Structure 1
Amino acid sequence: MNPIPPDAVSLNTGISLARLLEVKGEVLALEVMTGEDSLERTVANPDVSSPGLGLAGYTDGFPRGRIQVFGQTEMSYLATLSPEVASRRLEQVLQHDIPALVVTRGLQIPAYFSERAAASGIPVFRTHLITGDFYRLIKPYLEDVLAPTTTVHGSLADVYGVGLLFMGESGIGKSETVLDLVERGHRFVADDLVFVSRRGNDVLLGRGHELQGFHMEIRGIGFVDVASMFGTKATRQQKRVEVVVSLEAWDDAAEYDRTGLNRGVETILGVDLPRVTIPLVPGKNLTVISEVIAMNQLLAYAGLDPSARFQERILQ
């Protein structure tokens, strides 16, 4: 199985300030102080920071593209400067592609602050939240909405707490395998089209399409409503993708791993996942094999590798 092609990846070019205000304005208690005509500006960086040394005039290495938050410390420092000096320092900060300024604690905003931001076309928001609470509420949302995302043709299930992503050609049996796993008490996440997003450097989360819900297509039957048939406990909204199970038709000319020492790798959004290839022949019990794959992964998390231990016994 080849890695997901780069053109299948959406790097989420950003979210407009207007959309941020619409979705999170009430939760963040945001009010627009200036720049209502600049709300089309885009936030593309999930990181949020305070200007820090930038207000002291040192802007080398200043982060670009971040919402800048002015709390009690920043506003108190600016108050120690003359309006002219404070305005120049603020101007230096605003040169770093800043989408918006947020003043916390409901603090008073000096006239020069609003004027300088307006001259740069940068909106100013104010919230009554303290700085720590504002960070806590906005960062998870930005990390979610701006996370690199791709779509994968496959089926995703939670098996013993391990996220198994079944991949393979259309009609190979991915949906049927997941349906059988659900019948055995495991949990269904997504079928056919799996949205995968990266959180941090090495965590992939998979979910289904909102319109599809917890429906899956079984050839010869049609659509099956997993939640209605097996109950909500048989479903999950999302799950970390931990192992790729590649289903393929048996090929007499192919060489398949028989020791477990040469497990493959599947790369999705720059994250390497273990890949187990299962060649299909009539009568093979994919459900039990899938459970074994999940349990093997749990052993790997505990630092145990049955294949390596067996090899050591043979070599002794």
Structure 2
Amino acid sequence: MKDIKVLHREKLSVRDFFFRYGKDLQLAVHTPEEDMESNIAEGGIHRPGLAMAGYTKVYSSQQIQVVGHTEWNYLESLGHEGRQKVFDALSVFKAPMWVVTHAQMPHPELKEMCTRLHIPLFSTTLHTYEFNKVAQRILEEFFAPHAIIHGSLVDVYGVGMLFVGDSNVGKSECVLDLVESGHRMVADDVVHISHVGNIIIGRPDPLIRHHMEIRGVGILDIRSMFGIHAIRKVKKIEVIVELQQWSRDVSYDRTGLNESEEVVMGVPIPKVVIPVAPGKNLTVISEVIAMNSLMKLNGQNVAAEFNESLMQKIKAKAKGEYSDDLLDMNPQQWDPYE
């Protein structure tokens, strides 16, 4: 995974933004449809209150401009002439689109400026906070660095486990067995990952979706075979499991004390290397890895605790203070039939 080619999206057309997410954002159009040819080039939402008041030195004009309840009432208080001066001054900045929230109608002066400059103008019934929250998430994911990797992603007990390894090592078979055991597949063979915030998100390829290839069997539709509960559309990657063909010449971790991680697009993710050998139950091992990860998230590190207990016993024995735990057992509490 060291040779990941990180990709970046440079622009999102307002037309695509509207037709993909307009329903979710409850957008209504107030300018001609042909004006939607502008592009959103920055993943941010801007409230132009200071710019309306005349301070445009740090005006983020390349972002989506949102007129919330405060800005709308400020414009309302200015009257026609005041609003005309505001939008005459803002005409030198061509924003990708304007949105008026709270189901408020855009002022005629704003609509005139947008029509004249061919800037898309929308209104929404959502409150400003609600609109900003949803729109910001959409833009954040769209402009996030992304890549395509070879692997399989599955949700095991709520833990996103990315299986990687050489071709034909058994990744798909392991994921299929996990799905049959009640866990949820996200993607097989091709995983689209993106760096959102400080986490790595994985999702299936749009063409392959929730299909899987099993050598000797063919293409399987996991959703049709196992039901809607057997799949997920997206999942945070929390553990990387590398499957390797077992070799006598390789030394594998046997205590869990030497925790390793892999940095994916700048984000460190815990990594476990599992040797694959005939008869090895990868499904149970995967479930144990997931449960162990959950225990660590809850502050319990079994390997570290066991090592600490062992070191205490060694120190006690060196001082002559060691006693066998078996002597601590009370025979009166034994019941041979339990």
The answer, yes or no, to whether TM exceeds 0.5 is yes
Shift of residue 193 of structure 1? 0.7
| Number of equivalenced pairs | 312
Q: How far apart, CA to CA, are the structure 1 residues paired with 2:36 and 2:173? A: 48
Q: Deviations over 1:15-69 (max 9, x none)?
A: 2111122223344443433464431211243432311222222334443532111
Q: How far apart, CA to CA, are the structure 1 residues paired with 2:90 and 2:263? A: 39
2:198 corresponding residue in structure 1: 201
**Match for residue 298 of structure 2 among 293, 299, 302:** 302
Q: Which moved more, 1:89-98 or 1:304-313?
A: 89-98
Which amino acid letter does the alignment assign opposite residue 74 of structure 1? Answer: E
Q: How far apart, CA to CA, are the structure 2 residues paired with 1:95 and 1:301? A: 52
2:320 corresponding residue in structure 1: none
Shift of residue 97 of structure 1? 6.1
1:103 corresponding residue in structure 2: 100
Q: Which moved more, 1:286-295 or 1:100-109?
A: 100-109
Q: State the structure with more CA Rg.
A: 2
**Match for residue 169 of structure 1 among 142, 166, 170:** 166
Which amino acid letter does the alignment assign opposite residue 223 of structure 1? Answer: I
Which amino acid letter does the alignment assign opposite residue 151 of structure 2? Answer: G
Higher relative contact order (CA 8 A, sep 6+): 1
SS in 2 for 1:24: helix
Q: How far apart, CA to CA, are the structure 1 residues paired with 2:25 and 2:230? A: 34
Q: How far apart, CA to CA, are the structure 1 residues paired with 2:26 and 2:183? A: 41
Q: Which runs of 5+ in 2 are unaligned?
A: 313-338
SS in 1 for 2:191: strand
- 1:214 matched to 2:213? The reply is no
Q: How far apart, CA to CA, are the structure 2 residues paired with 1:166 and 1:74? A: 50
Shift of residue 86 of structure 1? 4.2
- 1:3 matched to 2:2? The reply is yes
**Match for residue 188 of structure 1 among 164, 179, 185:** 185
> After superposition, where does 1:78-89 map in structure 2 within 5 Å?
78-81=75-78, 86-89=83-86
2:94–2:117 Cα contact (<8 Å) kept: no
Q: Deviations over 1:143-191 (max 9, x none)?
A: 4444433222111111122111100111111011111222222222211
Runs of 4+ in 1 over 6 A off after TM superposition: none
1:227 corresponding residue in structure 2: 223
Q: Which moved more, 1:288-297 or 1:134-143?
A: 134-143
Q: How far apart, CA to CA, are the structure 1 residues paired with 2:296 and 2:155? A: 17
SS in 2 for 1:256: coil
**Structure 2 vs 1, CA of residues 297 and 18 (structure 1 numbering), >3 Å: closer, same or farther?**
same
Instruction: Please give the root-mean-square deviation of Cα atoms over the aligned residues, in Å.
Output: 2.8
Q: How far apart, CA to CA, are the structure 2 residues paired with 1:213 and 1:34? A: 37
**Structure 2 vs 1, CA of residues 80 and 194 (structure 1 numbering), >3 Å: closer, same or farther?**
same
**Structure 2 vs 1, CA of residues 309 and 123 (structure 1 numbering), >3 Å: closer, same or farther?**
same
Task: Give me the TM-score of the superposition, normalised by structure 2.
Answer: 0.80
SS in 2 for 1:195: strand
2:279 corresponding residue in structure 1: 283
Which amino acid letter does the alignment assign opposite residue 2 of structure 2? Answer: P
1:100–1:123 Cα contact (<8 Å) kept: yes
2:269 corresponding residue in structure 1: 273
Q: How far apart, CA to CA, are the structure 1 residues paired with 2:220 and 2:24? A: 37
